[in-house]
Amino acid sequence: MELLVAIAIGTLTAVGIYMTLRLRTFPVILGLTFLSYAVNLFLFVSGRLTLNAAPIIGTPEPYADPLPQALVLTAIVISFGMTAVIMIMAIGGYLSAGHDRIDLDAAEDGDAK
């Protein structure tokens, strides 16, 4: 099972990086989303894999490591906030520049006052 999960994490990372290397904001954001999936899983498995061992005290032992789960919760929420922000920025960039390329051109640099 560990191997499968590792492969999943690797795949998500690779897909995330590949998409993040695209030239338009939307696929880049999707790529970052994939990357965050990979990260969350990676963080989660730092507590190792367990089956049917939800860390609810009172249910039969053993318990999965609850700490990484709590950390992943935090990470999920944070990455949601970040995705939301970059999304509105992508919209703003597209609406104000008329295209959604992610690369900056030297010429437009610093026109903001």
Partner 1 sequence: MSLALIAALPFLGALLPGLMIRAGRTACATATGAVTALALFLLALQAPAVLRGEVVQTRIDWLPALGLNATFFLDGLGLLFAGLILGIGLLIILYARFYLSKSDPMGQFYTYLLLFQGAMVGIVLSDNILLLLIFWELTSLSSFLLIGYWKHLPEGRQGARMALAVTGGGGLAMIAGMLILGNIVGSYDLTVILENKDLIQASDWYLPALILILLGAFTKSAQFPFHFWLPHAMAAPTPVSAYLHSATMVKAGLFLMARMWPVLAGTPEWFWIVSTAGLVTMVMAAKIAFFKDDLKALLAFSTVSHLGLITMLLGFGTKAAATVAVFHIINHATFKAALFMSAGIVDHEAHTRDLRRLGGLRTLMPITFGIVVLASLSMAGIPPLNGFLSKELMLEEAAHTTWITPWAMGLLATIGAMFSVAYSFRFLAHGFLGPVRDDYPHKPHDPGFGLWAAPGLLAALVVIIGLVPMATAAWLVDVAASAVTGEAVHVHISHWHGLYAPALWMSLAAIGGGLVMLGAYPRLRAMWDATPRPEAKRIFDGIVEPLAALSRSVTEGLHNGGFARSLVLAVLAIAGAAYWAFDGGSHLAGSRPTLPVTPVTAIVWAVMVIAALVTPFLHRNRLVALILTGVVGLLIAPLFMLFSAPDLALTQLSVEVVTILLMLLALHFLPKETPVESTVPRRLRDAGIAGIAGIGIGGLAYAMMTRGPAFDPISHFHLAQSKPGAGGTNAVNTIIVDFRGYDTFGEIIVLGIAALVIFALSRTLLHDATVNRRLAAQPRQAESGDRHPMMLVVSTRLLLPMAMMVGVYIYLRGHNLPGGGFVAGLVFAIAYLMQYMASGYDWSHARQRYDHHALIGWGVLIASLAGIGPWFLGLPFLTSGYEYVHLWPLEEFEVATAAIFDLGVFLCVLGAILLALASLSRLALRTGEGANTRAYDIEEGT
Partner 2 sequence: MILSYALGFFVGSIALALILNLWRLFTAPTVTDRILTLDTMTVNVIALVVAYGIWAGTGLYLEVAVLFALTGFVGTVAYCKYLLRGSIIE
Partner 3 sequence: MSHWIIAPVALPALVAALMVIGLRGQLSLQRIASLATILALNAVAVALLWSATLHGSEAYFLGDWPAPFGIVLVLDRLSALMVALLALLALISTLYAIGSSWDAKGAHFHPLLMFLLMGIGGAFLTGDAFNLFVFFEVLLIASYGLMIHGGGAARTRAGIQYVAFNLVGSSLFLFALALLYGVTGTLNMADLAQKLPTLPEGDTALLRVAAVMLILVFAIKGALVPLQFWLPGTYANSPGVVAAMFAVMTKIGAYATLRAGTLIFPESLPATGPLLQDLIQPAALVTLLVGAVGVLGANTLPRLAAFAGIASMGTAFLAISAFTPQTTAAALYYILHSTLATAALFLVADLVTRHRAHLRLTETAPAIAQSGLISALYMAAAVAIAGMPPLSGFIGKLLILDAFRDQAPLVWSVVLVSSFLMILGLARAGSLVFWKASALDPDPDEPVREPLAFAATFAALTLLAALTVLAGPITGWLTDTANSLADPAAYIAANKLGAGQ
d(CA 7, CA 57): 31
Contact, 39 vs 23, CB < 8 A? no
Contact pattern for partner 3 over residues 30 through 69, marking x by CB under 8 A: --x--xx-xxx-xx-xxxx------------------xx-
Contact pattern for partner 1 over residues 12 through 41, marking x by CB under 8 A: xxxxxxxxxxxxxxxxxxx--xx--xx-xx
| Shortest Å distance, C-beta 37 to partner 2 | 16
Contact, 43 vs 24, CB < 8 A? no
| Angle of the 2-20 helix axis to the 25-45 helix axis, nearest 10 | 160
- C-alpha distances (whole Å) from 13 to each of 9, 42, 97, 104 are 6, 10, 30, 25
| Shortest Å distance, C-beta 40 to partner 3 | 8
Residues that bind partner 3 (CB under 8 A): 20, 25, 28-29, 32, 35-36, 38-40, 42-43, 45-48, 67-68, 71, 74-75, 78-79, 81-82, 85-86, 89-90, 92-93, 96-97, 102, 104, 106, 108-113
